[in-house]
Amino acid sequence: MGKLNWLGEFEDPKVEKAFQCEKWPSVRGRLLFLYFITIASYIGGAYSDFFDLGAGDGFKMLFSARTTVCMFGFFAFLLLLANRLKHNTQYVLMFLSMFLFILVESLELWVKFSVVGSLSVPATVFMVLAYYILLPPRVVYSLFAGLCGSSLYLFTLATLVPVTTGTFANSALYFFFANAFGIFFLATFGVSLRREYAARSDLEKLIKYDELTGAYSRRRVLEAGNNIFKSSRRFNNSLTVLMMDIDNFKKVNDDYGHHAGDEVLRETSRRCRSVLREVDHFGRLGGEEFVIILPQSNLHQGIRVAERLRNKVCESGISIGGSKLPVSISIGAAEMRSHDDFSKLLQDADVQLYRAKKCGRNQVSPPALRLIGSRRLKISFIPEQRNEQKEL
């Protein structure tokens, strides 16, 4: 699942979006912390500015710049706290905040250098590192924030501040190592997170779906059946279960080979899933046997669904080696009544499946309900050893 591109992100945009959505809560928490620390440090920086510059014009200019940036950061902090904007929009706000903070750092460098004669490179480097370390797994925004902030500061140092070549080279070296470490961190930590996510998603998919047919796995469909049974019992909703079996499947494997049997299973599953609703659950119990769970459906509705499934599978043969192989299915239906649990309901559907196969296959049991006048005929679906009621 999910090959990675040269940025270490998933090539499939849908997979990358799902990954980002899963990681967003932790990223959001780190970003809130980053906003808070940066705003607090900039407010504290005004105290240092006053002692370095006094109450002159330089201090007033820096104080105005710090206040503006802090207001923007606080605005971005509130939007992130509300969590109403899209993730990409939040990352853009983060990038703008980073750029403005580094811009004020560059302004401080220009204003203070002639008075203090010192550089605040370590603090700026720390800020660049923070944006790399705290914001993965979104690679592009962290990368641009770090590189643009470093470039802006070095540009100010090279053009507006009269420093020696050695001082500029040392500062550039600091930023080089900060960005190199940040990029390495993004390339390794981000990739590790994505590989872990891909492995976990593949495992969950194997647990949830049958690999051959694409239907729900036995474990998943039985788990869903138990939950739906309890919910239907609690809220007095209808529930019907269908047990389905591909007729003469062993003969298909014996005459055409197991690869043909696999194709029959895949195509049968695909056709059945195309008929069902989104709320229905279609799962493979094993071999050629499937179960369909129909919430909010009584027996009459379930039988109609079963007939649609049977007709869909039988409407045309399945292509095997250039020829069309006719395939049919038998289905047993049972409605939740006085059953103690889902397994008992499943057993009743299995009894009906056995009757459908015993009566000639390629049919639904019990047969479709018919209406005579205004009275619906009752059809028994009690265990096999009892006598079935005959229609009037």
Q: What is the pLDDT of residues 185-198, one digit of tens each?
A: 887 888 888 888 88
pLDDT confidence tier of residue 2, bands split at 50, 70 and 90: low
- The CA distance from 237 to 337, in Å, is 10
pLDDT confidence tier of residue 62, bands split at 50, 70 and 90: confident
Strand boundaries in the chain, DSSP class E: 239-246, 281-286, 289-295, 318-320, 323-325, 329-335, 364-365, 371-372, 375-376
Q: What is the mean pLDDT of the chain?
A: 85
The domain segmentation of the chain, as residue ranges, is 13-207, 218-376
Query: What is 218-376's CATH topology?
Result: Alpha-Beta Plaits (3.30.70)
Mean pLDDT of 340-356: 95
- For 23, 68, 105, 200, the CA distances from 74, given in Å and listed in that order, are 23, 10, 18, 37
Per-residue pLDDT tens over the stretch 350-384: 999 999 999 999 999 998 654 333 344 444 343 44
Placement of tokens 């370095």 in the chain: 52
Mean pLDDT of 63-73: 90
> Coil, strand, or helix at residue 161?
coil
Per-residue pLDDT tens over the stretch 186-234: 878 888 888 888 888 888 877 899 989 999 999 999 999 999 999 999 9
Question: What per-residue string of b and e applies to 352-388 under the rule 16 or more CB within 10 Å gives b?
Answer: bbbbbbeeeebbbbbbebeeeeeeeeebebeeeeeee
- The CA distance from 356 to 55, in Å, is 95
What's the pLDDT at 117? Answer: 57
Q: Is pLDDT at 114 greater than 50 in this prediction? A: yes
Mean pLDDT of 287-293: 96
Q: What is the pTM of this model?
A: 0.61
Mean pLDDT of 261-275: 95
Tell me the percentage of the chain whose pLDDT exceeds 90.
41
